[in-house]
Structure 1
Amino acid sequence: MIARSITVPRPNSMLALLSSALIGSLILALAARINAPMWPVPMTLQTLALVLIGSYAGARGAALAVTAYLAEGLMGLPVFTAGAGPAYFAGPTGGYLIAFLPAAWLAGYASDRGWLRNAFAAFAVFAAAHAIVLAGGVAWLAVTLGATAAIAGGLLPFLPGALVKSALATAVTAAARPAKRAA
């Protein structure tokens, strides 16, 4: 039996790019609602959604989706796990949220370059994207909690989940491989 993958078309018109950005921001908001309460920050499915948005929408689409998501939360829309508005960014999850942008861009950039076609490379990219989010979050937590507490509460509990989500994203990306964009 030959395994086949589904080819997903890339958004290449402005309308399609904006639509995928809006859909991506909604997916991030929904992924925020699927969480396990932890201290100092909850564990969500947002980083899984983040790398999958990047793998589908590419660097520009992923950056637009995350920017829209962050702007929605900044304006007070209830898209974050527990709260919204400018003050939310000053809380314990602020560093993670800000790091969403470079992490999504990395996944999208790798997808644009075709690096996600190899499972090992895809896993490495997704793990690196998770590492970016964790580094941003821990750096921010270290300012308020100190380095030891930030690592203990904001990094170590999230490492197994980051690896599982990276593996899951690799499997999903292999099954629904984005179509090559016409040059």
Structure 2
Amino acid sequence: MSSTTTVSTPARLARGLALAFAGSLLLTVSAKVSVPFYPVPMTLQTLALLVLGFTLGPRLGALSVIAYLAQGAAGLPVFADTPAKGIGLAYMMGPTGGYLLGFIASAWLAGIFAARGWTRTLWRALSASLLAQAVVFVPGLIWLGALIGFDKPILALGLYPFIIGGIVKSALAAAIAVALVRHRAR
């Protein structure tokens, strides 16, 4: 192993950790831009997730989300409506808990799509964005149903109000991703 490799590995690790931390800060800011819905608020977090995955790749995108969730679990007021609606694990066990878990898969999947070249054209990027965002709803709806009861209108509470906003955020994330790919190509 050459000295160049050993020197660059700690620098590369530090760069990766710094990017993941910056990504977690972006998620925090995006959580604070919120439209109050019940039982789950609408935020800009899915837009941030998609952009993180598209730009940082699957590992660093997912690591950004994990860092964000760890900060929230530790009691930092990083989530939407915190500290007013609680902090830490108590907040994470509430109605948004499943969506928060879905964030990891969403950022990872967006990163996979980007690595496979889906962010080179707007239509493919939009498809990737919609699919990666949809992943958030799987654990989110299951968690919400387990929490409030599957006899309640889970889709009306946890999916339908977010469809139009989700499409808009997916389109924005796709446009940002394609613009960044084109900018890098120059």
One fold, TM greater than 0.5? Answer: yes
Q: Distance in 1 between matches of 2:46 and 2:176?
A: 14
Aligned equivalent of 1:152? 156
For 1:19 and 1:108, the matched residues in 2 are separated by: 18
Name the % identity. Answer: 46
Instruction: Please list the CA deviations of residues 92-147 of structure 1 after superposition, one character each: whole Å capped at 9, or x if unmatched.
Output: 00000010001000001111222211222211111111111122211111112234
Which residue of the partner structure matches residue 21 of structure 1? 20
| Residue aligning to 2:136 | 133
- After superposition, the C-alpha distances for 1:21-63 in whole angstroms (9 at most, x for unaligned) are 0110000000000000010110000000000011110011101
Aligned positions of 1:99-118 closer than 5 A = 99-118=102-121
Does 2:180 correspond to 1:176? Answer: yes
- How many residues align? The count is 169
Amino acid in structure 2 at the alignment position of 1:59: P
Distance in 2 between residues matched to 1:121 and 1:175, nearest whole Å = 13
Offset at 1:157? Answer: 0.3
SS of the residue 2:153 aligns to: helix
Matched to 2:133, the amino acid is H
SS at match of 2:58: helix
**RMSD of equivalent CA atoms:** 1.6
Secondary structure of the residue aligned to 2:80 is coil
Aligned residue number for residue 30 of structure 1: 29
Query: What is the one-letter code of the residue matched to 2:112?
Result: Y
Aligned residue identity for 1:126: S
Return 5+ residue gaps in structure 1 as ranges: 1-11
Q: Normalising by the residue count of structure 1, what TM-score does the alignment of the two structures yield?
A: 0.87
Partner residue in 2 for 1:97: 100
**The one of 169, 179, 185 aligned to 1:165:** 169
SS across alignment from 1:41: coil
Please identify the structure whose Cα radius of gyration is greater. 2
Task: Supply the AA of the counterpart residue of 1:91.
Answer: G
CA distance in 1 between partners of 2:18 and 2:184 (Å): 17
Moved over 6 A (4+): none
Alpha-carbon distance between aligned partners in 2 of 1:90 and 1:110, rounded to the nearest angstrom: 30
Cross-structure match for 2:73: 74
Q: Which amino acid aligns with 1:151?
A: L
The 1-side partners of 2:101 and 2:75 are apart by 16
Match of 1:58 in 2: 57
Q: TM-score, normalised by structure 2?
A: 0.86
- AA aligned to 1:112 is A
